[in-house]
Structure 1
């Protein structure tokens, strides 16, 4: 009797040890998988009139950490191969950056915004809202035409520029206000998509010159970098979220201007930084364009790009 029961008792004695161990392993694996699934958010950060060679001359620890945390190009083009007739100024530039199409489509050829076609080629918030109707979208700028003409489908659209007085100082104050509002809304509204525009670098270039040898221009870039750092700190506190940050500019500059820069590399070249956990690391080895910003942001958010949108850009730099 004792001998025949021993195998049964022995087998039973091992089962309580194996089952809890397996159960705990399954729970741990599921918990780890759940913890890895963070909600995705995007920030399009625009620094008007910013030459990348001047960024490299300046002390920019915050832009540097975005570069280190992603992939970048120092020579993103502000014009495409198909269409190059629009002027190399802010209206066409920000129109292309925010829509992902060139100026022959959105039809902003200069800063007049005479007959824009943003109804047909809308701001990228439009596509975010189509995919995620409950998502919060925020645009904060201190160059009014962006808010007046380009932005659509924004839950919050702010223009912070102060009128009167010195133009450079006005934009510097506007940038400070924009940064403070961005930090507040990141904390309070948790936007899925945000566009933040900072304008003082461009105005400083117009006042003193667009070149890394110009102290005022370099100092403006360093000031903006400090503001960027404040926004990054606010984002980094959102530990349950995963952000992709795309940084670009609408044009470079030469002397104290940037109009008519179709054949001038110092004007024709912007830069593109794609940074975050979802980004590749290193330097782009192919040509990228400012219209690539929107497809990159949308693709990261899981928005399926539709050929009917006729986007000119492509998703770049994502894992």
Structure 2
């Protein structure tokens, strides 16, 4: 009953936010990656609802999430300096590391974690560009985390996962459709990435097994190889673009957004199911999946990237 109430309250909060956002003109400024305008912060509200109803659990994480959500929200509606944005992102990550208990480890763990976490947050943000992909992909990961937390090893309070799941379901109701009523924006994609990072980080620390990064393998391979591809094309990787595999599928091949999002969801779900079957060979399985997904990416680009080039896009 608790989660039904949370789901209803988050749904009503979303409808209320629609009215406030439209009245106050709270919109994103579209770039070359997206034509969306209406942004949502429902993921933060989900985590906050957990915090307020579960004895103020994980206070440093919530503080970090509040900080990174705020700066991303401001960045969505008005441009801020890259240096300020990075500084606040790093501050938020340091707070999250403190919640993890990472400062009891050797100092170089902090450096590695900072690099990895920055890369994951940016990758998750870059992958947000079509209807349903952020919400749907997050549903798959949260579902897997809920199963791991219940059946394999408990690494976090279950209510946190389920409450965030409720927020993602509400978001998908408005976004996972042919004509989306809202989209995540930087604030949404960054905040859900931060939440997933916190959960996966706790799982890795609890099990001392880094191969759980397999939970982000589809996004990871697409993001890393797209960066490599753009470097090969001598492009500035800091500028917006439409060269991700999912973008070519949606824009050049004209595959419906929802169908593309389902492909990414299903692929990641199958990868995770395979991992559960070969959990004793985690690192070998992770390596095999990276090779397989990378091969699919390269073959896809070799076959279809010329459509992008023919249209004279950059």
- Of the two, which has the highest radius of gyration? 1
Same fold (TM over 0.5): no
Where is the helix percentage greater, Structure 1 or Structure 2?
2
TM score, norm. by length of structure 1? 0.27
Bigger relative contact order, structure 1 or 2 (CA pairs below 8 A, ≥6 apart): 1
Where is the strand percentage greater, Structure 1 or Structure 2?
1
